[in-house]
Amino acid sequence: MSFLRRLLGTSVPNPIERLRVTETGSIIDTFRSNSPIWLVRSDTMSSIANEMSEKLGPDVLRTLRYAARDDWGLMMNESKPSWKGANPSLWRNFDRLWKDEGHLHASMITEGEVARYVVESTSLAALASGAFSAALEYALKNNIKVGVESHNEAAAFLSVETLEQSGPVPSLPAKKNKFYEKTPENTLESDQIEVDREGGMMLFNAPLSIVPFRLFTLWKQSSSHLLPVDSGDASNKWAACLRDSVAKGFMDSGEMIMIEDERSWSEVGKNQLSKWGLGIIDSASSSEKTLRIMLRSDAQHCIPSGILMACLQRTTARKVIPKETKSDTGFELVFDLNG
């Protein structure tokens, strides 16, 4: 079997086989060495990125492209598909992986000294451009320089120049995933999710995207010049901007939330967090003055915090920013309902 795998290359499974759900509200991606991911509506991810651009400046979309390139570079080295050459239409199972990630098409449109490509996405051209750059570099087995000739939110035309010298492969600090070694895994629930033959996922006719949490880490790293010099202030500003952008993206989705009492938050946790890989609510308690939620998540805490902030705003028509306190098992969010 290992000989055949080396001969034929890694096959890309469909998303129902590729993604695994843990009992603690995470979804892990076996094609990314069990890296945790967020299964999110493509238009919500687009809304988040555009709101981040409003808060931090348009350059944040360029840094998102860099982050997507780094994430896919990592994924290529983790999964090692058998892709060779400059034409993506000849890459085995590329279309399936491309659509799993929420994209539409990627194709070579001309040949010559300067190759040109077009990429399209249900989410953002910035994500598609960065991801395709890494895939093409992997298939060519050489470093490349990619230029974005023209683009709109959902499509981009790319020019590619092959470089002679090779550079280091981007990497994140090594992190052993002991948590998942002890946690039972189950296949992704597919009762509401439709998957087409090429791998694209839909939820009630809305395209879905696989977004790894490490993408947000890489995005923050590549956006350091847009943040305060002090590392603490930079982290706080990034977290606040991402939390508020996630909240707005959720509000823009039009999701209806019904909260009758504190027990309703358990259902919110299942339907708005755990089902999509954002963690699990351990407990929720409320009074006339405060709402306290204990939460565990593999996501950056500002992401589920933004979702819960939006859920509360949807039911009360008031924007309440939670105070966060870390604990040994997760973190606590405290909403001041009289603030």
pLDDT at 4: 39
Which tens digit of pLDDT belongs to each residue from 302-330?
Answer: 999 999 999 999 988 889 999 999 887 88
| Average confidence (pLDDT) over 113-127 | 90
Which tens digit of pLDDT belongs to each residue from 263-314?
Answer: 899 999 999 999 999 999 999 998 889 999 999 999 999 999 999 999 999 9
Which tens digit of pLDDT belongs to each residue from 185-233?
Answer: 687 776 788 887 766 898 888 999 999 999 999 999 999 999 998 888 9
Which tens digit of pLDDT belongs to each residue from 236-254?
Answer: 999 999 999 999 999 998 8
Which tens digit of pLDDT belongs to each residue from 72-97?
Answer: 999 999 999 999 999 999 999 999 99
Residue 144 near residue 163, CB atoms below 8 Å: yes
| Average confidence (pLDDT) over 131-144 | 94
Look up residue 331 and give its two tokens.
Answer: 């973190």
pLDDT at 205: 86
pLDDT at 187: 74
pLDDT at 146: 92
The reply to whether 227-336 shares the fold of 40-162 is no
Average pLDDT of the chain is: 87
Residue spans of the domains in the chain: they are 40-162, 227-336
Fold entry, domain 227-336: Muramoyl-pentapeptide Carboxypeptidase; domain 2 (3.30.1380)
Strand ranges across the sheet with 19-22: 185-187, 19-22, 27-29, 35-41, 206-212, 201-203, 193-195
Q: Which amino acid is at 252?
A: D
* Torsion 253-305-311-228 (CA) sign: negative
262 pLDDT more than 90: no
Confidence of residue 165 (pLDDT cuts 50, 70, 90): low
Q: Tell me which of 3.40.50.450, 3.30.420.10, 3.40.190.10, 3.90.1520.10 is the CATH number of domain 40-162.
A: 3.90.1520.10
Confidence of residue 179 (pLDDT cuts 50, 70, 90): very low
Q: Identify which of 263, 185, 236 has the alpha carbon closest to the alpha carbon of residue 25.
A: 185
| Average confidence (pLDDT) over 94-109 | 93
Confidence of residue 178 (pLDDT cuts 50, 70, 90): very low
